[in-house]
Amino acid sequence: MTNLLVFREQLKKFYSKYELYITPLCKFLLALVSLLVINSRIGYMSTLKNAAVVLILALLCSFLPINLTIVIAAAVTLAHLYAFSVECAIVALAVFLLLFILYFRFSPKDTLAVLLTPICFVLKIPYVMPIAVGLIGTPASCVAVASGVIVYYMLAGMNESASVLNTFDADGMVDDAHRIVKELGANTYVKVPSIPEGFKAMKALAKENINITATAIYTPMQAYLAAKCGASYAAPYVNRIDNMGFNGIQVAKQIHDIFKNNNLKTEVLAASFKNSQQVLELCEYGIGASTIAPDIIEGLVKNQAITSAVDDFVKDFEGLTGAGKTMSDC
């Protein structure tokens, strides 16, 4: 115990001696980590993700009162959300204003708790700050911790919603396509839905020579637009079209004819079959690409006459070479 007290006194003396340097450095590091966490979670504004901008803001925070670090972090958060959605930015602004009123009214000295709580959540150690504040803080400090928790879950929810919305956003589709090609290679055909935002994404990806398969096709016009946007394949859903009361096979044939009559390089990649006869009919028409379930493929070659013929060949061979013999051990 005595050694701990001595160490604490030495630490106090060291801090008092170099306080002029230690305090700005700690504020700089705290601001830097906070900004990096914000950018990693909701980095929708590319300018604010620039390393130079992050360093300048963190450096600015090191010379300002620490409470202003919260204000700057909130401003950066709002800017990112504004770049994504004005509505999200307005909701976040309302939440921040309410939290600021509570924070500056009840626990204005607990800035560390506000900033470190979301960081601890990101680091998967969410209980650190509540326990620490419970041990060394005041009852009012719970306001600061609660503010940090609210901010974390608000941003996590918005980030999750953004991921869903990006699925139907051209820029989000392009980003996903880049990731897919990076992970799986340049020979990968990226599936893009044939919707207005999907057509935008197809045009952008085609300029980069990325292979595209246009999906969710139910009409010939969808396929035509996808082809004009640079898709390599167009995938009509044959059986699903049938279930809608139309003729899926006929739609696939129409798409094939449109491509040929307009000299488009796009090919039909027929999908969603219910039986092997549908596949055969499209093959006869000249459509040579399909995505087929294993049971449908089996139906294309499963035939008792074929099985009997193979058995006869095996018996004839074994009659000449001996039972169980193959060419490798004759």
Tell me the chain's radius of gyration from C-alpha atoms: 32
First-residue to last-residue Cα distance in the chain: 87
State the DSSP code for 28: H
Please return the burial class of 113, using the count of CB atoms within 10 Å of its CB with bins 0-12, 13-18 and 19+.
buried
Contact 102, 142 (CB under 8 A): no
Task: Specify whether 191 is catalytic.
Answer: yes
Strand intervals (E) in the chain: 190-193, 212-217, 233-236, 267-270, 289-290
Q: Which residues pair with 214 in a beta bridge?
A: 192, 234
Give all strands of the β-sheet with 289-290 in edge-to-edge order.
Answer: 190-193, 212-217, 233-236, 267-270, 289-290
Residues 6+ apart with CB under 8 A from 102: 143, 147
Catalytic residue among 191, 203, 315, 325: 191
Active site residues: 191
